[in-house]
Amino acid sequence: MKVIIGSDHAGFSMKSQVKTVLEDMGHSVEDVGCHSEDSVDYPVYGKAVAAGVARGEFTKGILVCGSGLGMSMIANRFVGVRAALCNDLYSAVLSRRHNDANLLVMGGRLIGADLAAEIVRTWLVTEFDGGRHQGRIAQLDEV
Ligand code: RB5
């Protein structure tokens, strides 16, 4: 799978760990930055990742900021992007099964590295249920 990832300074450490998890799973990873813990603006990196997913160049995207909130806000402004803020495993499962989320967001200041790794692994292998959920996600892009 081609996965594009990004973070701001508050998510930099978790993004580095996520990158290792993805590579260990055998995915191809594009990291748009940031590349240190120096303060940056989250919309810059959120836009880069969401645009890559919206254009269909990447199957999935993953974003990390401090809370996950800012990254969710910017990513969901892109038509075709379904960004899900998941700081727990059950949200990660449901975001795939019911919402066909194509972009995972996590809060680097809210959860630990081990949980984040498990969320990423679970989110990437969980399939969309389709069925009654298909028409509902289609309605998202009509707005
Ligand atoms: C950075 O301090 C913080 O505001 C940012 O990482 C994020 O949590 C914004 O939503």
Which residue among 34, 39, 47, 65 has the greatest number of ligand 1 atoms within 8 angstroms of its CB, and so is best to mutate?
65
Q: How many helices (H) and strands (E) does the chain have?
A: 6, 5
Report the predicted TM-score, pTM, of the whole model to 2 decimal places. 0.98
Residues with CB under 6 A from ligand 1: 8, 10, 42, 65-67, 69-70
Q: How many whole angstroms separate alpha carbon 99 and alpha carbon 111?
A: 22
The per-residue b/e assignment along 121-138, b for 16 or more CB within 10 angstroms, e otherwise, is bbbbeeebeeeeeeeeee
Tens digit of pLDDT at every position of the chain (143 positions): 999 999 999 999 999 999 999 999 999 999 999 999 999 999 999 999 999 999 999 999 999 999 999 999 999 999 999 999 999 999 999 999 999 999 999 999 999 999 999 999 999 999 999 999 999 999 998 88
- Residue 54 has which token pair? 């919206």
| Contact predicate 24/68, CB 8 Å | no
First to last CA, the chain: 29
Q: What is the pLDDT of residue 141?
A: 87
Give residue 81's pLDDT: 98
Q: Label residue 119 exposed, middle or buried (CB < 10 Å: 0-12, 13-18, 19+).
A: buried
- Our mutation pick for probing the ligand 1 site, out of 8, 14, 34, 64, counting the most ligand atoms within 8 A of Cβ, is 8
pLDDT at 143: 87
pLDDT at 31 (0 to 100): 98
Domain count, the chain: 1
Containing domain of residue 65, as a range? Answer: 2-142
Cα 65 to averaged position of ligand 1 atoms, centre (Å): 6
What is the whole-number distance in angstroms between the Cα of residue 74 and the centre of ligand 1?
12
- CATH number of the domain at 57, please: 3.40.1400.10
Helical segments of 6-112, H only = 12-24, 42-54, 69-75, 89-97
Amino acid at position 143, single letter: V
CB atoms near residue 1 (< 10 Å): 12
Which helix (H) or strand (E) element contains residue 29? Answer: strand 28-31
